[in-house]
Structure 1
Amino acid sequence: MTCAELGGELDSLSGIVTAQGACPEGTDVAEITMPCEEGEYALDALWVQRVRDDGSYDEAEQLTDDECITPADLAAQARREFKTMKIEAPVATMQGNPPMIVNVHYPAYTSATAQDRTVTLLGVPVVIRADPAEFTWNFDDPYSGGDTLTTTDPGRPWHEGDPTPDKSWVGHTYSRLGTPGEDAGTAVDDNGNAYRTGVAVALTTTWQGRFRVQGTSTWTDIPGTITTTSTTGPTTVTEARTRLVCDDLDGNTVC
């Protein structure tokens, strides 16, 4: 800051000041803004007033000068903010009405979308963004083989009119249920059908970070990742055995 004539243009310096009220009569404090290059952002000088032992304040003291900063200057701060960012775990869905049936491919999908946080870094307003980058599904199926799936595809639900979901869809097929009486949760019902209870699917979402100065469109990547975990409610998987019967759907005996 400097002193300038009241109501006049600032065309010459009349003395640098370090505190409000330090200008002579007839002048007032005028602020000098440092010009910054394209892609740089102005950071104002830092001032402080220290508290004396008697509770009064010292004269204002300038700790830093005005300066121009770049996204590279903000990178370390942005990384710390991203690492402590509270990301809401997305909803994970294994589509299908319970109980699920063995040898049927059930689609799995998530609602994951980018999440933003606005912070101030070194006096500059910055948007921190977490983008869902990778999805690891654990289908809680130790008996069929290949009970985990890692993909960059969030999956999609089946809708009426879609083709029957197959293994090209993000999802899983339960083909075995374990041994009734030996494996936890596996038993046999009154009709002799094996079933397994308490099956819960877990989704681990990996998030990547980036940041931009608020009001600009250029994003800068942040090293490192964050993970969240989502879990579906427990369900039951059971067999659907085929049986030969003598009656058709109209009740006619055909045997």
Structure 2
Amino acid sequence: MNQWKQGSDARLPLYQRLREEIMDRIASGEWPPDKPIPTEAALTQRYDVAVGTVRKAIDTLVHDGLLERSQGRGTFIRRPDFDASLFRFFRQVDAAGHARVPDSRILARTLEQPAEPIARALALPVEEQTLKLDRLRTLEDGSVLKEEIWLPATRFAPLKEIELERFGTLLYPFYESQCGQRVGSARETLTVETADQETAQALGIATGDPVVVIERVALGYDRTPLEYRRSRGPAATFRYQVEIS
């Protein structure tokens, strides 16, 4: 039985239409991450397409890191480890030299009109409000990252009333459980700037010291921008490594 959603663009190649359809089903929460998506045979019947079309659509989503195949179990929604990505650059260790993911604390939560670059990154009209979170990440009582996070206020309305103490270290599972918003991928940009007085005080460094800034746009499985984040850390703890073969 053909179950295409309304609005599917018939001008696109069939596999690409199916790819977008799968992403929409994932983004809406219809297909949860702890269970496999429907089999190729089921998708073939559901959308009345050839198995080759289904396979090509799934292959592109696997290639893009949104799905992953598990031998003998099926195809699952992939959950990227975003903190592992961030701390690939800022290597944090405890007193014993073991790698650690820092704790976090929300310092402030405000509703604000986004500046034009933030509105553009979130694909929002500038008159639409954002929910801004100011967050500090710490390791053994020392500050290692200062973060500013902007979220579309309408999508994340439940976060306006939740006690700040309930925001955990991992925000993306929290977004999903409280707001039904699933982050599937992200784009990051690295730059360097000097610390202003506020940043220096938060990080325990001198004003004017170099800091590395990681700007991240987090996207839903349907590629809708869900979060814009700026993470600032001391350049002294920054480490970049790449393997070339």
TM-score range, shorter chain: under 0.3
Give the structure with higher Rg (CA): 1
Q: Which has the higher helix share?
A: 2
TM-score between both structures, scaled by the size of structure 2: 0.23
TM-score between both structures, scaled by the size of structure 1: 0.23
